[in-house]
Structure 1
Amino acid sequence: MVLLFTPKHQKLVNQCYPSGRTTDKKPKSSETSYLLYYVNSRRTKLEKVSSFLARKSTADLNHRRIGNISVTLELMDKIVNHCKENLNVFVRDFLQIMVRILSNNNVNNDASVVENAERTFGSICRLLDGALCNGDADFIDSFQAFVNLYFQVVTERLRDDRLLLKGCTDISTVENLALNPQGSILISRAVEYALTKFQEKNPQYRVQSLEATGDLAMTKRLTRTQTQTVGLDDLINSDDYGIEALRSFFNTSETDKLTLSIKVLLSVLLKTPNQKLLQFICNGIPVHLRYIVILIFIRQLQQDSQHSVVTLKLISSLLVSEVSIVGLSIIDVMRKLLNTQTMNGISKEVSNQCATTIGDLNRKTYYKDQTSDMFSEILIRLKDNRNSAYTDSLRRDLQELASSTFTPSLSLDTYMELFPFLDEPLKLFNVVSKTLTGSFSISKLFHVIDNLKSPERQRDFMSAAFEKYRGIALLAGLKHYLDFDETQKTCYFFYHLEAANFLNYSDYQSQAKYKQECGDHFTQENLLNYYSDLGSNKYSEKGKQIILSRETNVSTTDLLSNGNHTHSTGAEGSGKLDHSLKVPPPLTQDFSRIPKFALTSDARSLKSLKHSSPTVRDLKAARGNGASHLKRQTVSRGSQSVRSHVTNITFLLSELGDEGQESRIVDPDEEEVFGMEKSDLARSESLKLHNIVFKGSKRLSIPLKLQEDGDEFQDANEEFQVTSTRGKLFTA
């Protein structure tokens, strides 16, 4: 009679249990399949089955039916995997069942029962979503209660590390569990268990190991270089549950879970500092998220000053290691280190370690102007009067940056600003870039050398300037020391000695030594003698322009490049010089007699000349002074556009005729032109073609060589067929 009134869901569940009281029971396969089909048909049936399983498990526990408990756990695991869409319907009942099982002393010492409970719990964790974890307080309480009970059973009663690590891995598979405050506690606890068990299995990660970064033979490397250190991601071994547990927490793109895991890692490392463990774990973190490790460690400095030195050493060990880190904000990290260094009450040991870490931060190149930006950041703080008490610490930072810079990349302008704060300026000069942004910086460098008090420092700096900038230092120094000044007397002779060595002129070198002993200076003729031979001195042409440019103030930048103010000494250092750059010839004549419309500077263009076109009175005055004299003086100085204009003026003056003979300029608007011979027409056409060629050459930037003496106009070799002579006189 009882069976006639038993509900169908109860009969289906009871049919899955085999008879007998053995402990290794398994659910019947065919009956279990039909039960799964039954619970998938309606949601209400699933609720009835879960409630009945809860009552049956309680009865089995009271009667110590260990075999039935194992069958119940396996049925629960199958229902979870087949009814995952309705997991929220029965998951609370299932958690309550597993809590009762692990709380019962009759079964919680049975490893097979606990293992079945872990398997069911793992299936639940893999299918949980963040909405259920964060939206249901009762569920998260049940979840936390089971996890705490599970950890207690496997650590205290069973002492099974395998089940412990499997439970930690199960927790890591829950999505967005770190967003819940209670869930974040579980994650932190699981990570700590995983790290502890990994250290116990690998003793090399349990000892204190923090090497001094200053003893490492480092070279500056790009962070995209592949890492050679064996890391967490390199060990693919499914049998090692410790590796799998660590990988599940650290090799993830879920930043909230990763942040919690890194914080636990830091707490473990503060107890037993081991840089190998840090590098091993960081190699398992996705490359684009490894910078989070540095940020969390930096944040720890402000929260826990007691372990500041250990934290800074851990940061340094990671920065100088082979671990690839991308996306790290160098300046932001440096500012936090500087803020820590300038905190009130900070110890000298922490301050020195901050400086070391700043140097280690510069040992890898993350972007092009990184080193220059780091020096500029320290410069800003040195200029701030509020940091006057920390000047010594900031100078120590400069020394660490200089020692960690392996490729000269500091701009000369920044170096000039840092110069007053340097204890050993020549040491920092070695990291200055060879690239210049203009002639002002190199000129300022020579002024700084002049103001040095020690002659030995002046000599060393002059030698370093020539070694770094070579031809640029030669020409810029030639202009700087062109006039002998008693205040620059020492540097004046140091320059000429270095210039003689650079040019490899023994006569120049002996003269420089002799004049240094006598206190005499080089005359203009002496210097021109050393810059007169283009074959032996490739800088002769440009040097000559500087020597002869006292009144015109020729720019060193113009002598070094053609409109580009960024110079590099690479070509000069290799013995090659760009001779294609054209420099205007020197000016040695007296231009006091040139009329006001004549150009007096090569900087004027034809466009500016249009605003000061000569009048007839000016032409007559110039004609009285001699057209050939005007032409010779103006053409020797003007640019191509100026020479063309002056040539046309000269032609007009020649057309005015001699003083004794009166000539008439025919108006081109007249209907007929008289007095024009065929040779005159050909001369006019020749002038027209000459100007067309000249204008085209100007557009192509091809300099034209103008004749200094003699008549510049020649008759055409061929006769031209001219149909009309109207306006031919002014076509050119």
Structure 2
Amino acid sequence: MGLLFTPKHQKLVNQCYPSGRTTDKKPKSSETSYLLYYVNSRRTKLEKVSTFLARKSTADLNHRRIGNISVTLELMDKIVNHCKENLNVFVRDFLQIMTKVLSNNNVNNDIGVVGNAEQTFGSICRHLDGAMCNGDAEFMKSFQLFVDLYWQVATDRVRDDKLLLKGCTDISTVANLSLNPQANRLLSQAVELSLKKFQEKHSQYITESLDTAGGLPVTKRLTRTQTHALGLDDIMSNDDLSIEALRSFFNTSETDKLTLSIKALLKVLLKTPNKSLLQFICNGIPVQLRYIVILIFIRQLNTDSQQAVITLKLISSLLVSEVSIVGLSVLDVMRRVLNTQMAEGVSQEVCDQCAIVIGNLNRKTYYRDQTSDMFSEILIRLKDDRNSRFSSILRRDLQELASSTFRPSLNLETYLELTPFIDEPFKFFETVSDSVNGSFSLSKLFHVIDTLKAADDQHRFIDAALKKFRGVALLAGLRHYLNYGEGAKECYYFYHLAAANFLELTDYQSQAKLNYTNQTPFAQKDLLQYYSDGGRNKYSEKGKRIILSKETNISTTDLMSNGFSASGGKTEETHNFSNATDGATLDSSPVPYDLYRVPKLALQSDARSLKTLRHLSPKVKDLKALQSNGTPTHPPTLTTRGSQSVKSHITNITFLLSELGDDIPDSNIQDPDEEEVIGLEKSDLARSESLKLLNIASKGAKRLSIPVRLQEDGDEFKDAHEDFQITSTRGKIFTA
């Protein structure tokens, strides 16, 4: 009679339970389907069902109806999957039911019941949203209580690793759990348990192994792309649940969860240091996020000497491994390592290991100027007087950085600034690139060579400089050692020996050896002889200018820009100094070299040549003086390689000079520079007007392409039809 007044939701729930007291009961399929349809119709019905299931499970536990408990857990799992939009309505009741089931002794450690609880818990984790995890403190408290209880049951009571790893995987599926400061510890614990079970199953990852060299030669320069080593994402076996659990934590783009997972990994590695485990896990992390591993390891450095050394060795092993890492901020990592070295109370072992990390950091190329930037970072600290007590530590860093640089990439300017802090400048010179910005740096380089104590180092250094910088170093050295006279240093002779070998001039080589033996400097005429033949010595023009110049501060860069590049290659030659007087004579008399010396920025076009000639052309009084005395009052600055238009102006000047010399010794031609023009006769005025008409007529003739002849006798002109035939339309216009 009481069944007539039983609420409908209770009837529907009770109908899902099969009869009997067996432990392997399953809910009835048709009744379960109708129940799911019922709870989906209204939220209030869903709440009633969850409340009734909580009361029924308590009664079943008290009466040891384990089969009914299994049915209840399966019904809960189906309700979670079908009513996930309203999960917050019933999830608290479900967590309370599962907690009671796992904590009740009447379950008698039944693996089937624990498995059903895990299945329901996994469904809840997959459908939890961030609002519930971060906004409902009561729910998160119940959630943590159940997780702790589940790990205890799976580890101590049923001792089933599969159930434990499944629970860890379920934790990883909770969205935004890492953002909750109260519950993110569950994520870290799940990672540690997964790593522990993985190490137990794969014994090679549990032994201590921190050899940073490994199977990779330390002399090999690494790039960002390396041979892909076996990693977490390469193993697709479904039998190993530990790999699946680790993949769920590390193979993710959720940076907050990845950060917590990496911290948990470091915690495990500090207990059992193993570089292979670190590389295996890192290969499972998305390649664009692997740099986070190094950043987190660097930030976790502490004052504990032993743990700091282990962490630094792990970082070194990862840097020299075949794990591909992109996007790493090299300078940020380096600065943190340097700060660790220069902190108070740091042991010598930690400082040495930091230097090794800096060297290993340079073994991979992440961007073009990486090595120079790393050297500059140490240089900045060396120049700071506040870091004087750390000078020995920073010098050790320089040595490690130099030993790990296998491709010359350090700019010369930074190298010259580092030389006061380097014990072996020549060995350090191998890291310098072959590009140079100017001759000033090379001049400083030769000064550094002069200060070396060992003669062998000077000789090798000069040879290396010529080999690296070629023509620029040759001319810079020629300028540097130009004024050495009696008592010259040995480096003076070493330079000429190296220059002779570089130019491959046998006579220069013999003379250099003889002068070195007799300790006599080179005469200027001897050096000019070696730089006189442009066919044998392509640097002859530039070298000749340096040798003949009285000022030793002539720019080698300007010299090289005219003819040769820094690497010794021929460039476009803009000036020719081989014959300074070609095409630059006045009245067939030789012109001194200094009179027509080409300026540094010589004009390159006819337009600029004419413009310069208009402003720098000689005056009439200078031409008179040249006619009478043979030399001008002051030399004009003209180019020796003028264009055709310039040559025509010179021809006109020569013609005027000839007229000055023909029966007109006292001509009345006035200097145009004088303010007043007086003394012109009528004949002179008439001649001037005639010349103007001649110029106007010639210009018009050029425009019309018709020859026009100015008659001297009168104004009579002949008809154009009588002289020439019109063959174009343009000519017909003027005959109309």
Quote how far apart the aligned CAs of 1:229 are. 1.3
Indicate the residue corresponding to 1:703 in structure 2: none
Paired residues of 2:221 and 2:406 also in contact (CA < 8 A): no
Q: Does 1:193 align with 2:178?
A: no
Report the alpha carbon displacement of residue 519 of structure 1 after superposing the two structures with TM. Answer: 1.9
User: For 1:14-57, what per-residue CA distance to the aligned partner results, in whole angstroms no more than 9, with x for missing partners?
Assistant: 01111111111111111100000000000000000000000010
Determine the C-alpha separation between the residues in 2 that align with 1:457 and 1:291.
42
Equivalents in 2 of 1:277, 1:285: separation in Å? 13
CA deviation digits over 1:182-238, x for unaligned, max 9? 221111111110000000000100000011449951355564414421111111122
Deviations 1:404-437 (A, max 9, x none): 0110000010000000110111111001000111
2:491 maps to what in 1?
491
The CA deviation at 1:527 is: 1.6
Please say if residues 46 and 90 of structure 2, whose CA atoms lie closer than 8 Å, have aligned partners that are also in contact: yes
The whole-number CA distance in structure 2 between the counterparts of 1:115 and 1:624 is 119
Is it true that 1:658 corresponds to 2:663 in the alignment? no
Q: CA RMSD in A?
A: 3.6
From 693, 699, 707, the equivalent of 1:722 is 707
CA separation of 1:22 and 1:669: change in aligned 2, threshold 3 A: farther
* Superposition deviation, residue 148 in structure 1: 0.5
Does structure 1 conserve the Cα–Cα contact (< 8 Å) formed by 2:531 and 2:540? Answer: yes
State the TM-score, normalizing by the size of structure 1: 0.86
The aligned counterpart of 1:625 is 626
Shift of 1:636: 9.8
Shift of 1:114: 0.4
Q: In the alignment, which residue of structure 1 is the partner of 2:556?
A: 556
After superposition, give the CA deviation of every residue in 1:482-540 in whole Å (9 maximum; x if it has no partner). 22245643111001111122222332222111111222121222122222333333333
Is 616-625 or 463-472 further displaced after alignment?
616-625
Q: Supply the distance in 2 between the matched residues of 1:52 and 1:215 (Cα, whole angstroms).
A: 64
Distance 1:599 1:539, change over 3 A: closer
User: Does residue 21 of structure 1 match 2:21?
Assistant: yes
CA distance in 2, matches of 1:87, 1:99: 18
What is the TM-score with the length of structure 2 in the denominator? 0.85
- State the distance in 1 between where 2:150 and 2:441 align: 71
Offset from partner CA, 1:120-163 (integer Å, 9 cap, x none): 00000000011001100110011001100000001001110000
The 5-angstrom pairing of residues 464-475 of structure 1 reads 464-475=464-475
Which letter does structure 2 place at the counterpart of 1:389? Answer: R
Post-superposition CA distance 1:280-325 (Å, at most 9, x none): 1111111111111111111111464441111110010001111111
Alignment of 1:429-444 (within 5 A): 429-444=429-444
Aligned partner letter, 2:656? E
Larger Rg: 2
Partner residue of 2:312? Answer: 312
Q: Residues 629-677 of structure 1: CA distance to partner in whole angstroms, max 9, x if unpaired? A: 779x979962657996686366246336223335879889987548969
Q: Judge which range, 525-534 or 204-213, deviates more.
A: 525-534
Confirm whether residue 581 of structure 1 aligns to residue 579 of structure 2.
no
Equivalent position amino acid for 1:723 in 2: V
Counterpart mapping for 1:127-142 below 5 A: 127-142=127-142
Task: Provide closer, same or farther for how the CA distance between residues 119 and 615 of structure 1 changes in structure 2, counting only shifts above 3 A.
Answer: closer
SS in 2 for 1:561: helix
Structure 2 unmatched runs, 5+: 671-683, 712-736
Encode CA deviations 1:522-571: one digit per residue, 9 max, x unaligned. Answer: 1222122222333333333333333333359643212223599xx652xx
Q: Which residue of 1 aligns with 2:353?
A: 353
Question: How has the CA–CA distance of structure 1 residues 261 and 398 changed in structure 2, closer, same or farther, with 3 Å as cutoff?
Answer: same
SS at 1:301 equivalent: coil
Separation in 2, partners of 1:388, 1:643? 67
Which residue identity lines up with residue 624 of structure 1 in the other structure?
A
1:183-582 mapped onto 2 (5 Å cutoff):
183-213=183-213, 216-218=216-218, 221=221, 223-302=223-302, 304-486=304-486, 488-550=488-550, 554-562=554-562, 568-569=566-567, 572=568, 577-578=569-570, 580-582=572-574
Equivalents in 1 of 2:296, 2:285: separation in Å?
14
Q: Does the alignment pair 1:71 with 2:71?
A: yes
Superposed displacement of residue 454, structure 1: 2.7
Q: Which deviates the most, 356-365 or 553-562?
A: 553-562
Opposite residue 325 of structure 1, the aligned amino acid is: I
Taking the aligned partners of 1:685 and 1:538, their CA distance within structure 2 comes to 50
| Partner Cα separation in structure 2 for residue 20 and residue 472 of structure 1 | 100
Matches of 2:558 and 2:94, distance apart in 1: 85
Number of residues paired by the alignment? Answer: 684
1:603 match? 601
Any idea what the Cα deviations from partners look like across 1:562-609, whole Å, max 9, x if unmatched? 599xx652xx4xxxx315323441698999999999877343658799
- Please state whether the residue corresponding to 2:323 is helix, strand or coil: coil
CA distance in 2, matches of 1:582, 1:420: 40
Structure-1 separation of matches of 2:593 and 2:66: 121
State the identity as a percent: 63
Task: Pick closer, same or farther for the CA change 1:382–1:494 going to 2, 3 Å.
Answer: same
1:694 match: none
Relative to structure 1, is the Cα distance of residues 637 and 419 closer, same or farther in structure 2, using a 3 angstrom cutoff? farther
> Which residue of structure 2 lines up, in the alignment, with residue 716 of structure 1?
none
Secondary structure of the structure 2 residue equivalent to 1:328: coil
Matched letter for residue 479 of structure 1: R
In structure 2, the residue corresponding to 1:106 is in which secondary structure? Answer: helix
